[in-house]
Amino acid sequence: MPSSDSEDFESADEGRSSPNKRERKKRLSSSNYSDNLESEQDNKKLEPVINKEASSIKENLPKDGWDDFDIEEESLPNNEPQKEETKASIVKPESSAAKKESQTSGWDDFDDWGNDNDNDIKEQPQKTKPQAQNIQEAPSSQQTSTKSDGWGWGWGVDSLLSTATAGISNLTTQVSQGISTVLETGIGAPDPEELARISAKNDTKPNSAEEKMISAETNHEQSNQSSATEGAFPFGSLLSGVTKFVETTGTKVIAGGLDTLETIGKKTMEVLQDGDPGLAKKRAMLGLDSGDKPVLSQVLREARAKADEEDQLREAKREAKAVHYETLFDDYEGLVHLEALEMLSKQVTIRIEERLRTDPDKRQDIKETLQQVAELCEMPDEEDEEEEEEVSEGASKGDALHERLQRATRDIGLKLQFQPLIKQYTEILTWLETDDPSITEKAVYKKAVSSLAQTTALCVELYHKTGEMLLVKSRRSTADEADALTQLTVVLTKHISDLATQFTEKLTSHATEDKDQVNNYITNVFLEAGNSSKYIENAFQLAIPIVQIGAV
Amino acid sequence: MVDPIFDYQFRLILIGDSTVGKSSLLKYFTEGKFAELSDPTVGVDFFARIIEVQDGTRIKLQLWDTAGQERFRSITKSYYRNSVGALLVYDVCNRSSFEHIPLWMMEAKRHIEPHRPVFALVGCKVDLVGNDNKNGAWREVSCEEARMFAEENGLHHVETSAKTGSNVEQAFILVAQEVYNRIQTGEYKVEDGWDGIKTGFNRPNGMDFNLLEAETVQSTCC
């Protein structure tokens, strides 16, 4: 159990001591007048109070499976045996270890208590029955203890209370003592902590003596189950003793605390002024002395500059995000199209593999066909038949791109949508042609990255859509499809590099003083263009199985 | 472009017969526009929008708009897998589109397995009902009937119009909130190799771990 629990417990104790007293008196009298035979009944009467108390000291009562009688018996007595034995020296093997600890301080008590509780619960089933049956019969040793629990619970809590309070006073003394040690008691004034400690000791002694006496008495009571009057006396005196003790300790804690605070304050000033009379240096250091106007405005100026700097930093971060290629590519749905295409590609690959498995006779044939298609889809060498078919004169760059795309895919047997790509290209061209000197090189760079990302996204979408349409196409012509896709890839990668070139030209033409930065931008643009080509190439590779499955 | 900062990304898929209005619903939700005419969807199209759930967490909804046409069925089924939510869309003025809902649901369940998505039953085109024609004769699926089906199958039900915008937001927020709730209860988790739920770009990595930890602590103390 964590120590915080025991703290709670202890403070709850202090506050509640007097109501407890009343409750206890009531309970006490009722049990005193009752016969042993009726003890069970009595216990039931007491139960609500007990439960309340038990829960307030943060004990987890077993609520299920046990009848009321059990609960009460476990929840209350389980803290007693230990305590009782501590003072009265009855040896009970299972808690002897706990006993020793409980003598040292009130804190450990609580911890052990929680553990013992568990033990008691386990024991309970065996105990309960015999007790219920023959309460009056001569009890076995175990039973005696169980019975006495019914009587002894009241003082059990009390002794716990007193131990806990003693724990507080000890702690208080120790703490204040510790503080005074730290401060090395440099003040000439009489030491209040010392006084407090002494009086606390004096107070604790009679109390524990009282406790002992009571324990002995209760023990006595336990053994012969004697009359009511005998029980009533020790309880009353003990309770008043505890209350008084709590009161005095409380006063002492407060008084000691105030004294300690004063000591701390004095000592702090001493330390601060040590070698610095009047705190002149420290004031200077903290800027408290120089509170004139120019300095104040200086401070404000600095704060302003700092805020501006932070703003710029944040802006820079936002900008960095805005020109982040991957993010842009995702925003233009490029990533998700690529992913969807990959899903299709995987699905198709599984189908091809299945066919290879289920048709062993044709396996070789299928493999060859697959190989052929793959070869058809190999990218032509860079310089191969480049610029062979020049587009018609006078056509705009956008139209030229459209024409090339159309020509590349004319045999695919599908109606592909190139419009988004053309439209976007036209927009880029228009932007590039506007000769606005206010456009910074940074703006050009940003536009370059976002244009590349968007173009790439559109290209990937084109592959995705082409793949989907190929899969639902009724008549497949694998060779044409393979060729068309290969040509398409050539055109698209060329388009990307064209874009990059145009943007870098724009950057180079920009008259600027910061040559390094521009070079940096140019490098980045080519880098992202390479990225784009990779994505396109990737999409093309993913589309190949879709072409292949048409042939097998 | 919208503020790219979000905490989670949920992938939702829209399924249902062709021409029930899936694309129109999404167009209204993401762009606030309604097009009288639109081309049939090829395969799958994508939409995205960021919304906020009740506690202010920002969710990017990645919406997969599948083709309803029969010929794309073999393709669209490969797209189900990574969805955390599915909107079963029917046309309130088209009886058969509603009757096919159980089939769509079964198909989705089968392909999304082992994950269990959040389903919502979304009726479209309520603007056609009782608007120009006084007796509402155009309606072929009553609200009660749909609601009953939804209750039997543990779905959320909502009737929408992409023309007037009625209930369009609610349809998506309903699903997003439910998914988010299931994340909170620990039923759904961000998993590697499954894209139904992803954390946003700006989310610190330790976040989910903390969430999980807090939950376990809670369960042990009670």
Question: Which amino acid is present at B121?
Answer: L
Mean pLDDT of B47-75: 94
* pLDDT at res. B133: 55
Question: Has residue A458 got a pLDDT over 50?
Answer: yes
Q: How far apart are CA B175 and CA B29, in angstroms?
A: 14
B67 occurs within a structural domain: yes
Q: Are residues A36 and A174 in the same domain?
A: yes
CATH of the domain at B105: 3.40.50.300
Residue A317 resides in a domain: no
Structure tokens at A201: 């000791």
Q: A344 with A234, same domain?
A: no
| Residue B179: band (very low, low, confident or very high) from pLDDT cuts 50, 70, 90 | very high
Q: Inform me whether the pLDDT recorded for B153 exceeds 50.
A: yes
The share of chain A scoring above pLDDT 70, in percent, equals 51
ω into residue A294 within 30 of 0, thus cis? no
Confidence of residue A66 (pLDDT cuts 50, 70, 90): very low
Taking an 8 Å cut-off on Cβ atoms, the answer to whether B71 and A333 are in contact is no
| pLDDT interval class at B69 (50, 70, 90) | very high
Residue A167: its pLDDT value, please?
Answer: 58
Which candidate from A337, A347, A469 shows the least CB-CB separation from B42?
Answer: A469
pLDDT at residue A313 in the model? 82
**Does A516 map to a domain?**
yes
Tell whether A35 is covered by a domain.
yes
pLDDT tens digits, one per residue of B4-20: 678 999 999 999 999 99
- Select, from the ranges A51-60, A261-270, A292-301, the one with the highest average predicted confidence (pLDDT): A261-270
What is the domain extent for residue B56? 8-199
pLDDT of residue B215: 38
Using a CB-CB cut-off of 8 Å, the residues of chain B touching A343 are 78-79, 81-82
Over residues A70-116, the pLDDT tens digits come to 444 444 444 444 444 444 444 444 444 444 444 444 454 444 444 44
Which chain B residues have any C-beta within 8 angstroms of a chain A C-beta?
1, 4, 42-44, 46, 48, 62, 64, 71-72, 74-75, 78-79, 81-82, 195, 201
B interface test, pick of A323, A472, A475 with most B CB neighbours within 10 Å = A472
Q: Is the pLDDT of residue A35 over 50?
A: no
When divided into structural domains, chain A yields a total of 2
CB spacing of A472 vs B79 below 8 angstroms: no
Cα dist from A204 to A10, A199, A242, A531, whole Å: 16, 8, 10, 82
User: Does one domain contain both A408 and A261?
Assistant: no
Phi, psi of A194 (to 5 degrees): -60, -45
If pLDDT is split at 50, 70 and 90, which confidence band does A311 have? confident
CA angle A425, A427, A431 (to 5 degrees): 115
Mean pLDDT, residues B187-210 taken together: 69
Task: Locate all alpha helices (DSSP H) within chain B, ordered by sequence.
Answer: 22-31, 73-76, 95-99, 101-112, 143-152, 168-184, 206-221
Task: Name the DSSP class of A539.
Answer: H
Helices (H) and strands (E) in chain A, counts: 19, 0
B220 domain-assigned: no
- Does A187 score more than 80 pLDDT? no
The mean per-residue pLDDT over the stretch B165-192 comes to 94
Task: Give the integer Cα–Cα distance in Å for B62 and A156.
Answer: 66
**Cβ atoms A113, A164 nearer than 8 A:** no
Residue B56 to chain A, least CA–CA distance (Å): 22
**Domain co-membership, A176 together with A56:** yes
- Give the gap in angstroms from C-alpha A102 to the nearest C-alpha of chain B: 27
Signed CA dihedral, A49, A50, A53, A55: sign only: negative
Q: Same domain for A422 and A294?
A: no
In a domain, B218, yes or no: no
Does residue B66 have a pLDDT over 80? Answer: yes
ipTM: 0.85
pLDDT at A335: 93
Is the backbone of residue A434 left (phi > 0), alpha (psi -120 to 50) or beta? beta
Find out whether A83 and A160 touch, Cβ atoms under 8 Å: yes
- Number of A–B residue contacts, CB under 8 Å: 40
Q: CB-based contact (8 Å) between A460 and chain B?
A: no
What does the buried/exposed string (b/e) look like for A240-263 if buried means 16 or more CB atoms within 10 Å of the residue's CB?
ebbeebbebbbebbeebeebbeeb
Say yes or no: A265 and A396 in one domain. Answer: no
Q: Are A331 and B75 an interchain contact pair (Cβ–Cβ within 8 Å)?
A: no
Chain B residues with CB-CB distance to A337 below 8 A: 46
Encode pLDDT of B97-122 as tens digits: 999 999 999 999 999 989 999 999 99
Q: Do B201 and A347 touch (CB under 8 A)?
A: no
Residues A233 and A128 in one domain: yes
Give the largest CA-CA distance in chain B.
61
Per the structure, the complete domain to which residue A10 belongs is given by: 4-301
Whether residues A281 and A351 fall in one domain:
no
Interchain pair A343, B46: CB under 8 A: no
* pLDDT tens digits, A321-372: 667 898 899 989 999 999 999 999 999 999 999 989 988 888 888 999 999 9
Question: Is the residue at B17 inside a domain?
Answer: yes
Q: What is the mean pLDDT of chain A?
A: 70
**Averaged pLDDT for residues A254-283:** 81
Indicate yes or no: CB of B43 within 8 angstroms of CB of A339.
no
* Total number of domains constituting chain B: 1
